[in-house]
Amino acid sequence: MKVDGALLLTDPAEAGPAARRLEELGYDGAFTFEGPHDPFFPLVLAARETARLELATAIAVAFARSPMLLAQIGHDLQLLSGGRFILGLGSQIRPHIEKRFSMTWSHPAARMRELVQAVRAIWRCWNEGEPLAFRGRFYTHTLMTPFFVPRASPHGAPRIFVAGVGPRMTEVAGEVADGFFVHPFHTPAFLESVTLPALERGLERADRKREDFAISCQLLLATGESDEEREAAETAVRAQIAFYGSTPAYRGVLEQHGWGELQSELNRLSKRGLWNEMAARVDDEILDAVAVRGAPNELARRIRERCGSFADRVSLVAPWRPDPAAWADLVSELREPAQ
């Protein structure tokens, strides 16, 4: 099982040394996300200071960018990294696309399918000389003069991973992507009943094999060496779960357990800015369903029990303890074959 670590940065200039540190500690990959900073720029620096670390966006907001822009960024990062880049895409939710990015929101699953297909068509044009003649419902790309054609990548095109929660977006990932990011806001029951069957449907629709597809499971961790440390970690993770749970698009995860009304309550509290009260609504049952918690020496076993049967890689999500060295022993243990 591969293990990825987050590049949690207050300054993008720190990305190079931070990525090098992850590589030295034995991580297999490093990922950025669409937060206070652009997710792509730090990976330019990370590519220059690492040799084997896979570099991914987990995720970049797809609908904030055109397929041509994503294709160009992905192509360049594939060249800069020597073939180690993974273009990780997510849809975000409608208010952010329309009100934060001032972009178009419609038919997100169908739009994501077409966006991925369009990016691949552009890459085939650049790498294989195929004429650019992509005409879709949402995107059209038919002009590519020689001046704008970059040199072909000797490493091939980047892999594309798609993130999703609901079944339709998850099916799209299985159909057109190279891999799938399991959102940190999930439970084993939701994965078993919704996520994995949806991926299988997508793979079957495209006549693809599971062994040619990667699943990356993002995991919220809550642990500590002392009771005080564990309590602080659990408080931080409860707040993260409450934030995710307030999102209407993620209601299905809670409904799987009969907690649908909690989503409405969290949403109301979020609109009033009552973040502490939101975290207090996440009881131990919900915490254990969504997060992986326990003593440090129990985490590897619990992670394997949770997702070892299907995950090709895991991403350790623990913003409350951003030092990657704190997880070095866990990384080493997870990378070893299961006993």
3-state secondary structure 129-198: CCCCCEECCCCEECCCCHHHCCCCCCCCCCEEEEEECCHHHHHHHHHHCCEEEECCCCCHHHHHHHHHHH
Q: How many domains would you assign to the chain?
A: 2
Q: Are residues 60 and 174 in the same domain?
A: yes
Q: What is the pLDDT of residue 336?
A: 85
139-185 confidence digits (pLDDT tens) = 999 999 999 999 999 999 999 999 999 999 999 999 999 999 999 99
Q: Are residues 208 and 241 in the same domain?
A: no
Q: Are residues 288 and 324 in the same domain?
A: no
Q: Which domain holds residue 167?
A: 2-223+294-335
pTM (predicted TM-score): 0.95
CATH value at residue 94:
3.20.20.30
How far, in Å, are 60, 123, 152, 253 from residue 40 at the CA level? 8, 18, 20, 30
Q: Are residues 202 and 146 in the same domain?
A: yes
Q: What percent of the chain has pLDDT over 90?
A: 96
Q: Are residues 299 and 288 in the same domain?
A: no
Stretch 51-60: mean pLDDT: 98
Q: What is the pLDDT of residue 132?
A: 98
